[in-house]
Structure formats: C-alpha cells, structure tokens
Amino acid sequence: MEKIVYNQESMILIKEKIQTMVGIVSELEAAFPGRSFSLDGHLIGSIGEVMAAYYYGVELYRTSTKKHDGVVNGREVQIKITQQNNITISEEPEYLLVLYLTKKGDIYEVYNGRGRQPWDTAGKKDSRNSRHMRVNRLIELDSMVPTEDRITALHPIEKMKKEFKNR
C-alpha cells in the first residue's frame, strides 16, 4: 500500500471546493423548495477519509473496504463524516473517528476513540442492517474517552460543539 501524504495546501483546496459545492447546494435548495441537496454519500465519505488522512495520518484502504477505512499506528479505524445530526454504521469498528463538516467547509472532531461504546449505545439495526448514532450523543461519549484510547492528531483539529451544527 502506497502511503499518500496530504498537506495543508490540499486541505485549503478541499475547503475552497466544499464552499463552492455548498453554494451550489444552497442555489438548488432555493430553486426547489422542500428538497434537500446535502453533500452525503460517497462524496462526503471520501472528503472525510482524506481529512482523516491529513489530520491523523490514517493510511487509507481501497475505497469500499468492509468495516474499516484505514489504519494508523496499528489501529484499524472506521471514518465517518456528516453534515447532519447522525451517522450510520453497519459493524462495530476497532476505532471510530467521526468528523463534522459545516456548510462553510469547516471540519470538527465529533468522536475519536474505540468503537465499542458508540456501537453499544447506537440504535437498533434498520432495514439496511445499519445502526444510527446521534452527533450529540457521540459528543457526550467522546468526552469520556481516555487519552490512550484516542488516535493522536498530527494537525490541530477543533472539537465539535453543539452550536457548530448546520441549521
């Protein structure tokens, strides 16, 4: 596996492009009232993965690898990112990194730690065999994660606060 290094310039570029896409989303939502055009799915998932590679040094696996998205310091990690109030997960990961993307393109750390506690407190499986976890609950769980159970950030990343959520 070839290690790809992301730098600050690539993070500036992605933030600028996200702001452009968010502007397009706003235009579409204004043109089509009642419809949501949020940046979800593979696009936002890939954004989260490259952000985790930059901020935490995660070596990413191939796209769509089951259960984990990469590895850092021998720890397998699943990476989730959202602009909404929750995330979904289909299997208990060894470690879980949850990031939040604002409509301005800012990124925050929601949860950083072992996957057991979020998995155990998640909702029951839905029709797609996924479990839902609320961002507010993940913020609470994150406050209880011991330092040794965290993936060390290589670059500063601010912790998510409830007031940062998209409206």
DSSP state at residue 34 = T
Q: Is residue 81 part of a domain?
A: yes
Q: Is residue 3 part of a domain?
A: no
Q: Is residue 165 part of a domain?
A: no
Provide the residue-wise pLDDT of the chain in tens; the chain has 167 residues. Answer: 667 778 999 999 989 998 998 899 889 888 877 777 777 667 788 888 989 999 999 999 987 788 999 999 999 999 999 999 999 999 999 999 999 999 888 999 999 999 999 999 998 888 888 999 999 999 999 999 999 999 999 999 999 998 999 88
Q: Is residue 83 part of a domain?
A: yes
Q: Is residue 14 part of a domain?
A: yes
Domain hosting 16: range is: 8-158
> How many distinct structural domains can be found in the chain?
1
The whole model's pTM is what?
A: 0.83
